[in-house]
Amino acid sequence: MNSLDKIGKSVSFLLDDSFRPGVIVQLNGDIYFENEQFKVQFATKTRQNINEVIDSSSIHDWTSFTERAANSDQILMEIIQMNVLFNEKYKIDVQLFYLPDINKIIILFDILEPQKIPILKTYLNAFKKSSSFMLLVDQKGIIRDVNEMHTIFINKTREELLGKHISKVFSLIDPENDKQLPDYLEHAEEQGCVTTIIKYQKSMEDTRFYHIVSYYDKDTNMFIIHMSDTTEKENLQVQLAHSGSLSAVGQIAASIAHELRNPITTLKGFTQLLKASASDDSVRYISVIEDEIERMESILGEMLVLSKPSLKKKIAFSLDLLIADMVAVIKPKANMEGIEVIKKIELNNVPLIYGDPDKIKQVLLNLFKNALEAMKEGGTLSTLLAEDNGKLNLVVSDTGKGMTDHQVSQVFMPFFSSKPGGTGLGLPFVLKTVEDHGGTIKVESKVDIGTQFILSFPLLSDSKTIPLKKTQSIVL
């Protein structure tokens, strides 16, 4: 057993189970160990020697005890009234224990009235056991204590945080704004309480949202910083926003369908009549009108898709075979534009999914069409299908112009489009269809490098997989 373990075993009953501030010191007064209560009570600055805690008027009593301890080979215990420096000078009972086995003195300070100890101990336990990340910070911004959630929220040990400036935590969470965040404490001191929400990129695959509340306690000149994870709430709000937008689009689409179908039909009828008796020049103009009418009908059709109930036709089908058919449909256009199409499969069988193959076909055509329009000659459109943990993942990627972070964040919003003349309804349809099939979709994009859509579908759990054959195809 090493000396530290020996000391810990000897004094744990005094320091760990007591709510009183306590320290272990050498005979010369150098502080060897501090318990949590001592760190909280005497956190105004870092202390190296017990003489920095005991007022000069009580040094004689302390020196007298250490001299007796130095000449004793037996346990000494004594209660002495001393003046201690805790923000101000206080006269309190100090319990001294000399343990000859470890040649050190344990000091316990009766800072609090006994009747207040259980109440404050409850508060301390609430601080330690909170499901949120909590920090105790002094007026200079130095971290004096943290609860047990530090590794979960920022993956740092207690030792890496204690004694460091709070800006260390803020810079980990939000590196781009770490210079402004220390001012956050100044606002907390002025207003008593301030809040903020920070987006934290915990890893490449994990983006978190932290709600940070900072309270300032005038009595102790300390800050309590409370950090909770609101990622699920933020994501839910985004989903509700999408749902609300799609619902509004559905209502608009139904209204537009009622108002526009009759006049469009009338226009088509009259253009056909005019075309029969028109001159060659007039026929060209009428053809332009007909093209625009068809475009209006196409836009109306896309909007109506968002308002119709989904999954009327439900069957088990192979996504791999459906992709093969859709690649065959767009490949001639891709060849004409000098774009290479690559289809990769990382499957041993043909797993099935359950849903409406016609809707998924439209999803694929929308994604392929967007990819082709984003690329110039020499580009590459790739599809990758792989199975992972009961999910079937499809990645559709291109080497086109890519999108900014703002465009990526808005890409599924109805009527948002970065293409000239785009309706902004294709990708909302894609999102709605994928979610209706129990799947998920996310986008990754870099400007001038390309974009990829990652779709994930649940496998049909009770289906039987069939051997994969390259010649298989389906026509829907």
Instruction: Give the pLDDT confidence of 351-407 residue by residue, as tens digits.
Output: 888 888 888 888 998 899 889 988 989 999 999 999 888 789 999 999 998 888 888
In the prediction, which pLDDT does 450 show?
Answer: 92
CA atoms within 13 A on the CB side of 166: 28
Compute the radius of gyration of the chain from its Cα atoms. Answer: 35
In the prediction, which pLDDT does 394 show?
Answer: 93
In the prediction, which pLDDT does 256 show?
Answer: 64
In the prediction, which pLDDT does 37 show?
Answer: 73
Domains in the chain and their CATH numbers?
Answer: 3-112 (3.30.450.20), 130-229 (3.30.450.20), 242-307 (1.10.287), 315-467 (3.30.565.10)
Ranges of residues in the chain whose predicted pLDDT is under 50: 1-4, 17, 44, 115, 311, 463-476
In the prediction, which pLDDT does 251 show?
Answer: 64
In the prediction, which pLDDT does 463 show?
Answer: 44
In the prediction, which pLDDT does 191 show?
Answer: 80
In the prediction, which pLDDT does 149 show?
Answer: 82
In the prediction, which pLDDT does 308 show?
Answer: 56
In the prediction, which pLDDT does 313 show?
Answer: 67
In the prediction, which pLDDT does 301 show?
Answer: 66
In the prediction, which pLDDT does 299 show?
Answer: 66
